[in-house]
Chain A
């Protein structure tokens, strides 16, 4: 166990934790926008942490530089795609979930 391996462990564990919370949010949240919020934020941070952890594990080499490039690309592309999807849903007329809406649906049922 070198120093590099030990420093990469917290990053990887943080990545796993945020992946887990993002997945829980995807499964438990009530509507499309909340789920997108959970996965968009959680997955971006988780991917970033995992890739940084992997590049630290790899050491100072060309491979770790490539992994960092992927991390930068993910950091740019993932929030933008989340934004595009939520904006498209908003334009198509999908209404955000409210507590009131749930009560109305319950009374209809």
Chain B
């Protein structure tokens, strides 16, 4: 169980720099295909900003922003984007993740279609990595105790 800090300096600075960390993460994801970076690195930075929130503001506040259930849904959603784009290429009649064939669907030249396709894949990877990073840290900080979200779900089903 993490202990919440009551220190005003750490909380204030964390609150100030968190949006900039997230903007930087989006920059790394967006520039992945023509500069160093990419979906995984940007996703890790994005996950680190949420982990910073969890460390500075405590487990209860972090749960309101991003619960374990939401993290699981986001990781599945990111994987769905990735595999969906891959399968779309397959449906259009080329290899898995061969974005060139998407040009007829997007109405652009094949080179642009490749650029857009890999951007979409990297966004999916970024979302999945962010959610998985947060969920791993969530599991570590709760110490293996069953989160309340799942308990509520179980009682709700009954």
Partner-B contacts on A (CB < 8 A): 73, 76-77, 80, 83-84, 87
A73 cross-chain contacts in B, Cβ below 8 A: 17, 20
Could you tell me the dominant secondary structure of chain A's interface residues? helix
Give a binary string over B1-44; 1 marks a CB under 8 Å from any A CB, 0 the rest: 00001010110011011001000000000000000000000000
What are 18 pairs between A and B in contact, CB < 8 Å? A73-B17, A73-B20, A76-B13, A76-B16, A76-B17, A77-B13, A77-B17, A80-B9, A80-B10, A80-B13, A83-B7, A83-B9, A83-B10, A84-B5, A84-B7, A84-B10, A87-B7, A87-B10
B17 cross-chain contacts in A, Cβ below 8 A: 73, 76-77
Of all chain A residues, the one with the shortest Cβ separation from B12 is A80
Partner-A contacts on B (CB < 8 A): 5, 7, 9-10, 13-14, 16-17, 20
| Least CB distance, A40 to chain B, in whole angstroms | 13
Q: How many A-B residue pairs have CB under 8 A?
A: 19
A77–B5 Cα distance when bound, in Å, is: 17
- 5 closest Cβ pairs, A-B complex: A80-B13, A84-B10, A83-B9, A76-B17, A76-B13
B9 cross-chain contacts in A, Cβ below 8 A: 80, 83
B5 cross-chain contacts in A, Cβ below 8 A: 84
B16 cross-chain contacts in A, Cβ below 8 A: 76
A80 cross-chain contacts in B, Cβ below 8 A: 9-10, 13-14
| Least CB distance, A61 to chain B, in whole angstroms | 15
Of all chain A residues, the one with the shortest Cβ separation from B17 is A76
A83 cross-chain contacts in B, Cβ below 8 A: 7, 9-10
A76–B10 Cα distance when bound, in Å, is: 10
Given contacts A76-B13, A77-B13, A80-B9, 12 further A-B contacts (CB under 8 A): A73-B17, A73-B20, A76-B16, A80-B13, A80-B14, A83-B7, A83-B9, A84-B5, A84-B7, A84-B10, A87-B7, A87-B10
A84 cross-chain contacts in B, Cβ below 8 A: 5, 7, 10
A97–B16 Cα distance when bound, in Å, is: 34
| Least CB distance, B3 to chain A, in whole angstroms | 9
Of all chain A residues, the one with the shortest Cβ separation from B13 is A80
A77 cross-chain contacts in B, Cβ below 8 A: 13, 17
B20 cross-chain contacts in A, Cβ below 8 A: 73
**Interface hub of A77, A80, A87 (most chain B Cβ within 10 A):** A80
